[in-house]
Amino acid sequence: MPVIYGIPNCDTVKRARSWLTAAGVDYQFIDFKKTPPDEALIRRWLQDIPLETLLNRRGTTWRKLSEEERAAAEHEEGAVRLMAEHPSVIKRPVLDSGNRCYAGFQPELYETALAIK
| Domains delineated in the chain | 3-113 (3.40.30.10)
Residue 34 has pLDDT above 70, yes or no: yes
Mean pLDDT computed over 9-36: 96
Q: Residue 84 and residue 101: Cα distance in Å, rounded?
A: 17
Active site residue 101: no
* Residue 117 pLDDT level (bands cut at 50, 70, 90): low
CA distance to 57, 99, 107, 115, per residue, from 112 (Å):
27, 12, 9, 5
Which DSSP letter does residue 58 get? S
* Residue 116 pLDDT level (bands cut at 50, 70, 90): confident
Instruction: Name the amino acid, one letter, at 22.
Output: A
Q: Cα-flanking dihedrals φ and ψ of residue 47, to 5°?
A: -70, -30
Q: Point out the catalytic residue in the list 2, 3, 7, 10.
A: 10
